[in-house]
Amino acid sequence: MGDSRATLRSWWHDPVHYRWLVRTLESHFALGPVKFIIGAGGAVMLLINMLMSLSPAGPSGTVDRAIFAFAGFTAAVWTVRWWLFPWPGALTSLVLCTWADIAITASCLVDRNRVYGALSAMLLVVTGAYITFFHSPRALAVHAAWSLLSIGVLAGYVVTDSVGGDVALAAAMVLIMMAAIVVVLPGLQFCYWVLRTDVLSDPLTMLLNRRGLDYYLYRSRHRQCLSVIALDLDRFKAVNDTFGHIVGDQVLASTAQRLRAVVEPDAIVARTGGEEFAVVGELDRDGALATAERLRRAVEAAAGVPVAITASIGVAVCEGGADTDRPQLLLRCADSAMYEAKQLGGNAVVLAEPPIYVPDTAPTTPRRDLSRRGK
């Protein structure tokens, strides 16, 4: 039960890297089809709006017709925005969803046929489905609260406008909306989060894989102080060649546990290759070097390993600035420092000096500080 609660907390606090999701769709040439489908939802809503305007069950009176026209205008803007313009940013996306939610609820409230008005509130599931896949659980929770408030008001209309007050029908409509908004959509989002987490994880070590590292590195681009530590196991090939890949896998799994144990709780730890790892955190130069030395000693002191294993470690630190490409630049510089440590015989920590990031200029090959070496 405790593990389940921890999983649910991780899902709830997951910020969802919106731009990464969009770039993933773009890299698979799926951005165009998805944009068309989302825009088509607005086109369908516009068609529904036009049909109801011609129906006796539609709005009556100047104010009601104006509200209905506003809903139709919203559907038209939604369609044009998605079909003819680039994919919106995260904030614009949420604004569009909020606008659509308000327009849907408003149009439902002015339907003269209260039962149909309540049925039309199911269109909130459409915007909810979009939020499910592209925004955070908290954004979905806000949408769910608005949807339940809307159907609650509409259910009240059904009770007050029907002869004898059809409480059972009103309650059934509320339950239908709850099933869709409170059960189905969060369930889909949770399953989607689990699958995405699995895709971004290395099944052997349970650390992030390279794709997962890229996912979280992008989120780190605005941090003022950022450190990247690249680590490669020395002589690991001898383990596989002598004892087989099963033993090699055990060494990698135990190494991952030791790395996770000595870094800060909020550090990002990933397996980036066969026997290569990376640690990303908010550490200054001294903190990053201290962490790298703890990592080196933890690998060197491993017990139960058939062949002595050490680590070559490269460190890159930036203590200022913010740029989209900065995390990747730091990772490449830490990789270069790590390979230099390996060329020096391994079991060493090499620091890239000075900090590689200078705003508005291209990075240059850094000088190396070779003062940290294992004995």
Is residue 342's pLDDT more than 80?
A: yes
* Strands of the 276-281 sheet, one edge to the other: 268-271, 276-281, 225-234, 310-319, 348-353, 367-373
Q: Within this chain, do residues 153 and 32 fall inside the same structural domain, yes or no?
A: yes
| 28 burial via Cβ count (<10 Å: 0-12, 13-18, 19+) | exposed
Model confidence pLDDT, tens digit, residues 309-340:
899 999 999 876 555 567 888 888 999 999 99
- Whole-angstrom distance, CA of residue 35 vs CA of residue 51: 25
Domain shared by 215 and 276, yes or no: yes
Q: Give how many domains the chain has, as a whole number.
A: 2
Is residue 340 annotated as a catalytic residue, yes or no? Answer: no
Peptide bond into 354 cis (omega under 30): yes
Q: Is the pLDDT assigned to residue 163 strictly greater than 60? A: no
pLDDT digits (tens, 9 = 90+) for 26-75: 989 999 999 999 999 999 999 998 888 888 877 788 888 899 899 999 99
The total number of residues shown for the chain amounts to 375
Does the structure show a pLDDT above 60 at 360? Answer: no
- Could you tell me the pTM of the whole model? 0.80
Rounded to whole angstroms, what are the CA distances from 202 to 48, 94, 209, 310, 323? 47, 32, 5, 22, 28
Q: What is the mean pLDDT of residues 155-172?
A: 78
Of 166, 199, 232, the residue that ends a domain is 199
- Residue 149 is part of which domain span? 2-199
Which pLDDT belongs to residue 270?
Answer: 95
Residue 110's pLDDT is: 87
229 lies in the same domain as 88: no
Do both 173 and 231 map to the same domain?
no
Answer whether residue 366 shows pLDDT above 70: no
Q: Is residue 205 part of a domain?
A: no
Summary mean pLDDT of the chain = 86
Judged against a pLDDT cut of 60, whether residue 368 lies above it is answered with: no
In a domain, 17, yes or no: yes
Active-site residue among 275, 276, 340, 353?
275
